[in-house]
């Protein structure tokens, strides 16, 4: 089961054009953008630190350079300070970066799903069709929660867990206690190289398979 990249990308392109956003090609996001305050940056997370660093490929170059064991990121940054207000995470080897891919990445990271395909199937079975409406609801939940609690990976994982437990793309954010910031090497998001058939995510340092 695959997300309609065409549908989601078209929605994003129209939204960015209407708001005067960046001219980078959309990667599937439909989250609202305030052009006077924010800009969106897509990148290839080549060093797996869940951040769009200055020397990493961005926009079209990111998609062209994407390999099966790498993922794309989408950051919403405050225009003048460059600080990050939202992060969305792509699946390994997939070009779409949006709310659905972020929840899918969580299901892969915690072992609920063993492949990209299984993650998407589970989301469809539990939350509904993989359409623009579901994607927009998920992205809004991620945006709202990160705005108040930061875009550290542990916060994204915490919200993803709540969404999955409630089987609701719009969970009660007020009931979620923010997670403490974890050292990067302890965050399951920082997988080593994982393909669709991998059963677990390797830690970033040392290469063991412990969580």
> For the ranges 26-30, 72-76, 77-81, 190-194, which has the lowest average pLDDT?
190-194
In terms of C-beta density within 10 A (0-12 exposed, 13-18 middle, 19 or more buried), how is residue 28 classed? buried
Cα(114)–Cα(49) distance, integer angstroms: 22
Residue 22 CB burial class (10 angstroms; 0-12, 13-18, ≥19) = middle
Sketch the domain layout of the chain as residue ranges.
5-184
Q: Give the residue among 138, 49, 42 at the shortest CA–CA distance from 97.
A: 42
Q: Structure pTM?
A: 0.71
Indicate the range of 25-34, 75-84, 199-208 predicted with least confidence.
199-208
The per-residue pLDDT for range 121-132, each reduced to its tens digit, is 999 999 999 999
Residue 74 has pLDDT above 60, yes or no: yes
**How many other C-beta atoms lie within 10 A of the C-beta of residue 166?**
14
CA–CA dist 90, 81 (Å, integer): 25
d(CA 130, CA 156): 20
User: Taking Cα atoms as reference points, which of 137, 131, 140 lies closest to residue 8?
Assistant: 131
88-128 pLDDT, tens digit per residue, is 999 999 999 999 999 999 999 889 999 999 999 999 999 99
> Given this model, what pLDDT does residue 126 score?
97
Q: What is the pLDDT of residue 113?
A: 94
Task: Give the three-state DSSP class for 141.
Answer: helix
State the Cα–Cα distance between residues 72 and 51, nearest whole angstrom.
Answer: 10
- Residues 151-170 have pLDDT tens digits of 888 889 999 999 999 999 99
* 3-class DSSP state of 159: helix
Distance CA 41, CA 90 (A): 13
Which of 18-32, 52-66, 120-134, 176-190: highest mean pLDDT? 120-134
């Amino acid at each position: 089961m695959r997300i309609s990249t065409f549908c989601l990308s078209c929605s994003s392109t129209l939204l960015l054009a209407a708001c005067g956003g960046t001219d980078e090609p959309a990667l599937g996001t439909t989250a609202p953008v305030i052009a006077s305050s924010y800009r969106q940056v897509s990148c290839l997370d080549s060093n797996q630190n869940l951040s769009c660093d200055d020397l990493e490929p961005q926009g079209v170059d990111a998609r062209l350079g994407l390999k099966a064991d790498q993922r794309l990121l989408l950051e919403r940054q405050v225009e003048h300070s460059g600080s990050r207000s939202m992060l969305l995470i792509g699946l390994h080897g997939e070009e779409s970066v949006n709310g659905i891919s972020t929840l899918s990445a969580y299901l892969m990271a915690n072992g609920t799903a063993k492949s990209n395909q299984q993650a998407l199937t589970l989301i469809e079975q539990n939350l509904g069709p993989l359409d623009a409406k579901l994607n927009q609801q998920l992205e809004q939940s991620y945006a709202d929660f990160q705005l108040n609690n930061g875009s550290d990976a542990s916060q994204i994982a915490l919200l993803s867990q709540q969404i999955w437990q409630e089987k609701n793309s719009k969970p009660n954010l007020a009931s979620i206690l923010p997670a403490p910031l974890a050292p990067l090497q302890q965050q399951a998001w920082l997988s080593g190289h994982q393909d669709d058939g991998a059963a677990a995510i390797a830690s970033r340092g040392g290469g063991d398979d412990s969580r």
